[in-house]
Amino acid sequence: MSTITNNNNGEVKPLTKKDFTSDQVVRWCPGCGDYSILAQTQKLLPELGIPKENVVFVSGIGCASRFPYYMNTYGLHTIHGRAPSFASGVKISNPDLSVWLITGDGDALSIGGNHLIHILRRNIDVNILLFNNRVYGLTKGQYSPTSLPGHVTKSSPMGSIEQALNPISLALAAEATFVARSVDTHAKHLGEILKRAAEHKGTSFVEILQNCVIFNDKTWEDVTDKKTKENNALLLEHGKPMIFGAEKNKGIRLNGLKPEVVELGGDISESDLLVHDEKCSDPTYAYLLSRITYPEYPCPMGVFRSVEKPTYEDQLVGQVKTAIEKKGEGDLNQLYNSSDTWTVS
């Protein structure tokens, strides 16, 4: 746990989860997956050693986007889909801040799809948490861009006829430098992933499989439920072969460019399996992983990609520094006179 200097009397006082909890009553539905994500985030922040006045939570519109109101930090509840732009402005304005972006599948992938890909490609150091419940909650249950084809909702009574978007594939196509997936209720795993996201320098993108108890209950049950997850989910661990299953007897092998599920034993051993490499600089590998989807395959959980690249704000600050070194601090007289002048006497 980090320690923060108390400003009033110089005493050293550790921050706790409580310090990051605002006085506002949380208004999500009872049983909503968002509670668990909020709790994990509030638990994590004191561990990061960042003074809470340096933390900013930014969100768009939707159930998830009420999140900043519940954090006792600085925060912006913005407009639908546009949160990445606000977060970018905050971070560029003051790169010392720890900026978090809370969004949902409608906010980030439908109305805000454009902004999402651009913040990712710029690699601005913002931690993006995308709560994916595959449905519109706040507008009462329409299908979302991640809803599966055939999904029956009020606006798709005969089933959705749209292809679902894969958030991880999208982030990787934008060459995001940190891409991960976790689950609302897997507290320990979520805590670890959020910590990794916070520590990553550059944009971190975390898809959190989240349950909407009202409009899309149990949407992720097959891959998240205790009873089924070991067979239906694959835990990604850097440098380790991809093994899953209650008996740890199944794995992923690459056949050309096609992954295949194999059973260990007989003539197939661990050395035949794909070994996870989250540091692979070419996003093609991580993209291939992102196409491993349930039910054909187990659903991968964990860090798909974590690579270092210069951040936007560091480069910008660098350019400001270079400009000052080259030209000196801006001088108005010099600037005004930088064009042809003439004197009237």
Partner 1 sequence: MSTTKEIDALTIRFAGDSGDGMQLTGAQFTNASAIFGNDISTLPDFPAEIRAPAGTLAGVSGFQVNFSSEDIYTPGDSPEVLVAMNPAALKANLSDVPRGGTIIVNKDAFSKNNLKKAGYENNPLEDDSLLAYQVHTLALTSLNRKALEDITSLSTKEKDRCQNFFALGLTFWAYDRPMEPTLKWVKEKFKKLPDVVAANERSLQAGYYYGENTETFQIRYRVKSASSEPGVYRKVTGNEAIALGMATVAKLSQKPIFYGSYPITPASDILHNLSPLKHFNIRTFQAEDEIAAVGAAIGAAFGGSLAATGTSGPGICLKSEAIGLAAVYELPLVVINVQRGGPSTGSPTKPEQSDLLQAMFGRNGESPVAILSPQSPADCFDTIIEAFRWAVRIMGPVFVLSDGFLANSSEPWKIPNPQDFLPIEVKHAKAEEGKDFLPYKRDPETLSRPWAIPGTPGMEHRLGGLSKEPGTGNVSYAADHQQKMTDDRAEKVARLTEIIPPLQVHGESKGKLLILGWGASYGAIRSATEKAQKEGKSVSYTHLRYLNPFPKDLEEICANFEQVLVPELNMGQLTLLLRGKYKNNFVSYGKVQGQPFKIEELYDKICELT
Q: Name, in order, each residue with C-beta under 8 angstroms of 327's C-beta and a sequence gap of 6 or more.
A: none
Cis peptide before 30 (omega within 30 of 0): no
User: The tokens of 239 are what?
Assistant: 């440098």
Residue with tokens 């909702």: 153
Q: Is 335 in the site for partner 1 (CB under 8 A)?
A: yes
Give long-range contacts, CB 8 A cutoff, 24+ apart: 224-230: 224/183, 224/185, 224/186
Q: Which is nearer to partner 1, 6 or 249 (by Cβ)? A: 6
Alpha-carbon distance 108 to 81, whole Å?
6
> Can you tell me which of 10, 18, 30, 93 binds partner 1, judged by CB under 8 A?
93
Rounded distance between C-alpha atoms, residue 232 and residue 58, angstroms: 33
- Tell me: does residue 281 bind partner 1 (CB under 8 A): no
Q: By CB under 8 A, is residue 51 in contact with partner 1?
A: yes
Nearer to partner 1, 235 or 316 (CB): 316
Is residue 114 at the binding interface for partner 1, with CB under 8 A as the rule?
yes
Tell how strand 204-209 and strand 250-255 pair up.
unpaired
Please identify, among the stretches 33-41, 131-139, 173-181, 332-340, the one whose residues bind partner 1 according to the rule CB under 8 A. 332-340
For the record, the structure tokens of 115 come out as 């902004």
User: Does residue 110 interact with partner 1 by CB under 8 A?
Assistant: no
216 lies in the site for partner 1, by CB under 8 A? no
In the list 2, 3, 7, 249, the residue contacting partner 1 (rule: CB under 8 A) is: 7
Among 89, 141, 159, 191, binds partner 1 (CB under 8 A): 89
Residue closer to partner 1 by CB (options 97, 180) is 97
User: Residue count at the site for partner 1 (CB under 8 A)?
Assistant: 63
CB of 112 to partner 1, least distance (A): 9
Burial 143-177 (b: 16+ CB within 10 A, else e): bbbbbeeebebeebeeebeeebbbbbbbbbebbbb
Q: Is 53 in the site for partner 1 (CB under 8 A)?
A: yes
Does 78 bind partner 1 (CB under 8 A)? Our answer is yes
Residue closer to partner 1 (CB basis): 86 or 287: 86
Whichever of 49 and 149 has its CB closer to partner 1, that residue is 49
